[in-house]
Amino acid sequence: GGYHPAPPPGAVEAVGVAPKGAQLIASGLSAEVIETILQKLYALKWKLFTSWCGEHQQDLVNCPVGTVLEFLQARFSTGLSHSTLKVYVAAISAYHAPLGGLSVGKDPLVIRFLRGVLRLRPSVRPHVPTPPFEPIEEICDS
């Protein structure tokens, strides 16, 4: 228990950069701006994990990987996407004690769980309309 603030600066690398972070990096924003945006994103996820652990009498910093997976499964069951669950894993990894010397995000069971999530609920890429097709002869005849 006890008070656990939002993950510290630099914690965004805990699981690699989640898709939201990758989009922000591609946008050309400074590292400081990206860190600020992700801190807010991670703080909410950490707060939800903190509440869940309290309700289930679990130590949020030292709980076993099974507890983290039960939390992630509960979030997945509400309809959350693979990319959103990866943000949860990153936020939890920032504070949770290492599991067998590995961060939560690098734990083999967490990796397998996230792969399973992706198989069960594949990411849906936005459809990019294809330009109208014009046969090459029509273009050359113009």
The mean pLDDT of 16-44, rounded to a whole number, is: 70
pLDDT value at position 53?
A: 96
CA angle centred on 45, ends 81 and 29, rounded to 5°: 85
Asked, for residue 24, whether it belongs to a domain, the answer is: yes
* Nearest partner of 89 among 18, 3, 33, judged by Cα: 18
The torsion angle over the Cα atoms of residues 21, 105, 4 and 65, rounded to 10 degrees, is 150
Residue 135 is assigned to a structural domain of this protein: no
Confirm whether 114 is domain-assigned: yes
Please give the full DSSP string across 60-129, using - where no structure is assigned: TTT--HHHHHHHHHHHHHTT--HHHHHHHHHHHHHHSPPBTTB-GGG-HHHHHHHHHHHHHS---PPPPP
Q: Please report, to the nearest 10 degrees, the dihedral formed by the alpha carbons of residues 8, 9, 10, 15 taken in order.
A: 50
In a domain, 72, yes or no: yes
**Domain for residue 133, yes or no?**
no
Query: Given a cut of 80, is residue 113 above it in pLDDT?
Result: yes
Whole domain around residue 50: which residue ranges? 13-122
Q: Are 90 and 68 in contact (CB under 8 A)?
A: no
Q: Where residue 45 sits, what CATH number does that domain have?
A: 1.10.150.130
How far is it, in rounded angstroms, from Cα 25 to Cα 117?
25
Domain tally for the chain?
A: 1
Q: For residue 33, what pLDDT is reported?
A: 82
Q: Which helix (H) or strand (E) holds 16?
A: none
| 83 in a structural domain | yes
Is 110 contained in some domain? yes
pLDDT at residue number 30: 81
Percent of the chain scoring above 70 in pLDDT: 69
Distance from C-alpha of 142 to C-alpha of 138, rounded to nearest angstrom: 6
Note the Cα 47 to chain centre separation in Å: 15
Does 41 fall in a domain?
yes
Please indicate whether residue 107 or residue 36 has the higher confidence score (pLDDT): 107
